[in-house]
Amino acid sequence: MPDDHFLTRITAERLGRRLDQAVAANINLIRVWGGGIYESEDFYSACDERGILVWQDFLLACAAYPEESPLWEEIEAEARENVVRLAPHPSLALWNGGNENLWGYEEWNWPDALEGRTWGGRYAHEMFAAVVAELDPTRPYSPNSPSSPGYDPKQVRSNDPDHGSHHQWEVWNAIDYTNYRGEIPRFCSEFGFQAPPAWRTLTDWVHAADGRPLAEADDPKNDPTFLLHQKAVDGNGKLDRGLAPHLGVPADFADWHWATQLNQARAVAYGIDHYRRWWPRTAGAVVWQLNDCWPVTSWAAVDSEERPKPLWYALRRAFAPRNLVFVTEDDALSVAVLNDTDQPWRGEIALSRQRLGSGSLATATVSVDLEPRTSRPVAVPLDVAVPDDPAAEIVVARLDAYATVHTFVPDLEMALEKDPLDVDVRPAEDGYTVTVTARSFARDVTLLADRVAADAFVDEALVSLPAGESATFRVRTGVRDLEQALGAAPVLRTANDLRHVGRSNPEEVTHDDPRTGG
């Protein structure tokens, strides 16, 4: 989306930083959303230079548009100008006729409200297709996102997961994120999950309605100013209901902020892992959204002050060319081996069922010989896959430099130690190194370093450590004397923390939003 509401503040340097963050997160395609703008030459040139593909929407989104004059001529002139302008860019991969217009007409009760008036179907099916065919005939055109090209909508709906592109918003709006595995779309061109921006961004820009710092408000989560920075229908309710079965709903605002950011990262990574596992049936996944244009609770991975949320680190891991993903189906545990490279992946997966505190209970090795651009499940032997005590055990899988951890029950049911880490913080030339060693299983170790230094950037996050293992985080900042702050909460956080905090219960709120897109 546009990187700032004030478009003249978006510089080439800023766009370069944003696209560098995309590349660093292993993102290889950027969809320019139909509710935004045709981006500047700086944007497309930067994508050309970085080898990022661009999916370009025509700028119609989530609404009905009259097809009469003079709007018809205005939209055609705008489309022609931008097709000619952008066609020379090698990064441009696809023209798309708009966002959720066809889906909206079919499923959001528009016909009754329109009472026979035109609504924009001819833009998607006729005008844009003709303009692309005339002015950029070598590029493919899709009538909308989502859409099922070539099918009569009376037989196949635009958002049918078996055809064309698909948007998955039931997860965010109504059902738990584990339901991503309930469908296998051909190409998921939009899905996501919310969380607040980084703590520093939030507290610098959003103050309580009475003028106090937000964190000092009587009820920060329900403060009117904070709620103004949450534009999803019942957004906080959806966040709480998303938290409840996994991490619980912390009563303290700082804990709630960390929990929602963690849950966002887990939810989206869960979806990506599922979609990648089903290649080539599922041929792609585009996350809504990369960036933000204001300091708001949203679906973004990078907030409006350019700070990455934990989601950004989760994207980097989930979109890595090679990855390991645990899958449970029909009560059987397997490891999906994902190889999105041009080289085969051969080796042995080392599997270990372990106690949280220490000690291996069962081990196995399984050979892998995976061809390029493929994925394949590898069964976990029963003695490793079946726990004696689900709350106190994990399974670890390793192949080369890749590792992943399986837990048998949600965090709320695990016997996670509250303080599982030994921490060593040392000054470095450009900041600090923070080395953590797990005395007991430490889940999703993360440094929220912006809380103590506005310029801080951490090289890694969401690191899960079995007992006895260590990891070193590198914190880049010009601020000195942070050794003590970096080694403890609220900067150093784990999922273990949330197992031991006070909780509130989310209110029972029905999902009555007629629009499923957010």
Give the number of other CB atoms < 10 A from CB of residue 201: 21
Match 């081996």 to its residue by tokens.
337
Residue 273 DSSP SS3 = helix
Rounded to an integer, what distance in angstroms lies between the CA atom of residue 300 and that of residue 226?
17
Q: List the catalytic residue out of 41, 78, 100, 429.
A: 100
- Where does residue 457 rank: exposed (0-12), middle (13-18), buried (19+ CB within 10 A)? middle
Contacts of 398 (CB under 8 A, 6+ apart): 349, 350
Provide the CB-side half-sphere exposure for 309 (13 A, CA): 36
- Of 97, 32, 506, which Cα lies nearest the Cα of 286? 32
Rounded to an integer, what distance in angstroms lies between the CA atom of residue 43 and that of residue 46?
5
Rounded to an integer, what distance in angstroms lies between the CA atom of residue 473 and that of residue 432?
8
Rounded to an integer, what distance in angstroms lies between the CA atom of residue 143 and that of residue 129?
7
What region does 110 belong to: left with phi over 0, alpha with psi -120 to 50, or beta?
alpha
Rounded to an integer, what distance in angstroms lies between the CA atom of residue 416 and that of residue 441?
7
**Long-range contacts of range 172-178, CB-CB < 8 Å, 24 or more positions apart?**
172/232, 172/238, 172/242, 172/299, 172/518, 173/238, 173/511, 173/513, 173/516, 173/518, 174/511, 174/516, 176/242, 176/245, 177/242, 177/266, 177/267, 177/270, 177/271, 178/270
Rounded to an integer, what distance in angstroms lies between the CA atom of residue 130 and that of residue 119?
18
- Decide if 100 is catalytic: yes
Query: Judging by DSSP bridges, how do beta strands 249-250 and 503-504 pair with one another?
Result: antiparallel
Give the number of other CB atoms < 10 A from CB of residue 283: 12
- Of 183, 462, 439, which Cα lies nearest the Cα of 315? 462
Whether the CB-CB separation of 432 and 487 falls below 8 Å is answered with: no
Q: Catalytic residues, which ones?
A: 100
